[in-house]
Homo-oligomer: A and B are copies of this chain.
Amino acid sequence: MDFKKIPKAVIERIPLYLNCLDKLNSNNIETTSSKQIADEIGLGEVQVRKDLNLISGNGKPKIGYKVVDLQKDLQKTIRNSEKTNFIIVGCGKIGEALANYNEFVNHNFALIGLFDNNKSKIGKRILDLEILDEKKLTTFCTQNHIDIGIIAVPCESAQKVCDDLITSGVKGILNFTNAKLNVDTNISVRNVDIVSLLTMIAIEINE
């Protein structure tokens, strides 16, 4: 929907910039420079400058960047609307841990639905949000605007849940199973698999 396509590599860094700016903000720092940001997050300053120029273009020679302006420009890449709505499917250990995390609202993400297919879980609440029957998933998603679905069900059901989410209009998936999800290219999928992460670390420390 945005006019300029943001390179994959830059997308990976935007959360770092946002984090850094949050920190500067809470320290009441109003103006910053590519050097300061680069040092803080451990990147090269030229790279930071190039990224920020692409995303914001509001740097001023000799002065640098206004922190709040930069935050606004970065935010624009993330969303058009007020909030990004997401749901969690699967309220086992991982799903529950995620649902209890209360930092979402500070970053304009809104957790608006929890689902499980286990009778003993349905009807319970996590931080005031009721766990709904997974059967209601597609209805819920079509009736509410859901941007992202988090999949935290057992591996075997992951593809089914994924298909249901996409059929109901969800455009992004965060997959906590180690299933390889088959999706159309217009859907954004990220995977978090602990064994894969440990494997990559193990390779790096073995070199």
What residues of chain A have their CB less than 8 Å away from a CB belonging to chain B? 1-2, 5-6, 11-12, 14-16, 18-19, 40-42, 77-80, 84, 86, 92-94, 96-98, 100-101, 103-104, 107, 109, 147-148, 171-174, 178, 180, 182, 188, 190, 192-207
Is the pair B107, A15 in contact by a Cβ cutoff of 8 Å? no
What is the copy number of this chain in the assembly?
2
Q: Which residues of B contact A80 (CB under 8 A)?
A: 206
**Distance of A69 from chain B, by nearest CB (Å):** 19
User: Contact at B19–A78, with CB atoms within 8 Å?
Assistant: no
Q: Which residues of B contact A79 (CB under 8 A)?
A: 202, 206
- Within 8 Å by CB of A15, from B12, B101, B104, B200, lies B200
Contact (Cβ within 8 A) B201 A148: yes
Decide if A200 touches B12 in the complex (CB within 8 Å).
Answer: yes
- Closest residue on chain B to residue A174 by CB atoms: B197
